[in-house]
Amino acid sequence: MVRMIRESFAVVEPHSEEVAKFFYGMLFSLSPATREMFPANMEVQRSRLLRALVHVVQMVDRPDDLIPFLRQLGRDHRKFGVINVHYEAVGTALLSAVKKFSGAAWTPKVEMAWAEAYTLMARAMQEAADADNGPAYWHATVLEHQRVSWDLAVVRLQPDHPVNYKAGQYVSVETPQRKRLWRYYSPANAPREDGIIEFHIRSVDGGWVSRSVVGHTQAGDTWRIGPPMGRLSVDRTAGSDILMVAGGTGVAPMHAIIDEMAQYGENPRVHLFYGGRTREDLYDLDNLQRIATTNPWLTVVPVLESDPGVRGVEQGSLADVVTRYGAWEERDVLVCGSPAMIRSTVSRMLVAGTPLDRIKYDPFTLD
């Protein structure tokens, strides 16, 4: 089943944009009520569908990773009002889209493999959604909007009830300026007693939501926050030291984990490579270095790609610099940044000899 799914998806993937258009056209035809769950502009939603599919296909033979991801996705979809009948329509639309663009690669056996895989996926999502007694989303009020640079803002919010996330996880958010355009962002702080959550949001080229957040969010705005997701975390009791690789605002979940670890006297060693193109991109470097001065278990290495005049930093891409230090075979590895940065870094680390089962990253990282 795994082989057939991957081989047929390899045929379909070059036509990803057409696949996504066909999928949503079929879905809205089969279940017109689902159209109200999505924004008027579907461009970003289509790319997100394919990223999720790629992630699932990559993990289809790793159920210990795939099932928790699907269960989180099922809980997250409660915020849309998804019910069981919607899963049937999604399954029909998905198989129809893959079939249309698979050509001769689509056979009765391939169809059965996709049908069985989707049934397992949908069951995991539905069971998780049905078992979740918590809220489908939380309302949160913007307390502060701090413009750090022309394209970066720090936003602090007060949820109406505590959001039960863990340091390193991400959540979906909806802002009043961009209704139904949910986006995934990682809290940059560990859970606090007062419940306040801090987000670091950079404006992305063509990003409808991120540009709006950076330029137009105001104190008093009410956001909606979906259930927490993601598998970036540190088990302090596992005995393994940690390697963190963060690009740009991908440092936010790393900062949250470090924030939590700093509450304890003893921790595993943490080596953080924090990268950007120029020194301005490393907006959180001073804060992290300040934490490192009082926590000897933390080492912070700044990395710049396009700013050779800066002293005291490593020069090159994160993939170059991290692998220059070795394979890190004995470390648990957390990676966060843009999809391109994650792909290049993980690929280079695997070639360098880093075990795949040591590496963790999450799929949703763009506006």
Residue-wise DSSP of 311-364 = SSSEES-HHHHHHHT---TTSEEEEES-HHHHHHHHHHHHHHT--GGGEEE-S-
User: Which pLDDT value is given to residue 180?
Assistant: 85
User: Which pLDDT value is given to residue 273?
Assistant: 98
Q: 138-229 maps to which CATH number? A: 2.40.30.10
Domain spanning 1-131: CATH superfamily: Globins (1.10.490.10)
Predicted model pTM:
0.84
User: Which pLDDT value is given to residue 44?
Assistant: 65
What single letter denotes the amino acid at residue 261? M
Please name the residues in contact with 91: beta carbons below 8 A apart, sequence gap of 6 or more. Answer: 115, 118, 119, 122
Contact 244, 161 (CB under 8 A): no
User: Which pLDDT value is given to residue 107?
Assistant: 95
Nearest to 93 by CA among 41, 47, 38, 49: 49
Quick check: helix, strand or coil at residue 228? coil
Q: In this structure, is the dihedral angle defined by the CA atoms of residues 13, 15, 16 and 18, taken in order, positive or negative?
A: negative
Per-position b or e across 161-184, b if 16+ CB within 10 A of its CB: eebebbbbbbbbbbbebbeebbbb
Residue 286: count other Cβ atoms within 10 Å of its Cβ. Answer: 8
- Where in the chain are the domains? 1-131, 138-229, 241-361
**Mapped to the 3 state alphabet, what secondary structure does 191-205 carry?**
CCCCCCEEEEEECCC
Per-position b or e across 59-87, b if 16+ CB within 10 A of its CB: bbeeeeebbbbbbbbbbbbbbbebeeebb
209 Rama class: left (phi>0) / alpha (psi -120 to 50) / beta: alpha
User: Which pLDDT value is given to residue 87?
Assistant: 92
Nearest to 93 by CA among 19, 13, 27, 5: 27
162-191 pLDDT tens trace: 999 999 999 999 999 998 889 999 999 999
- Interhelix angle for 108-131 vs 84-102, to 10°? 150
* Phi, psi (deg, nearest 5) at residue 110: -65, -40
The alpha carbon torsion through 322, 324, 326, 327 (nearest 10 deg) reads 50
20-52 pLDDT tens trace: 899 999 999 999 988 888 877 676 667 677 677
Q: Which CATH architecture best describes the domain 241-361?
A: 3-Layer(aba) Sandwich (3.40)
User: Which pLDDT value is given to residue 367?
Assistant: 42
195 Rama class: left (phi>0) / alpha (psi -120 to 50) / beta: left
Distance in angstroms (rounded) separating the CA atoms of residues 89 and 321 = 46
Q: In this structure, is the dihedral angle defined by the CA atoms of residues 126, 128, 134 and 139, taken in order, positive or negative?
A: negative
User: Which pLDDT value is given to residue 60?
Assistant: 81
Q: Which residue has the tokens 């397992």?
A: 120
Contact 45, 135 (CB under 8 A): no
What single letter denotes the amino acid at residue 70? L
Distance in angstroms (rounded) separating the CA atoms of residues 8 and 320 = 33
Q: Which residues of the chain have pLDDT under 70?
A: 41, 43-45, 47, 50, 364-367
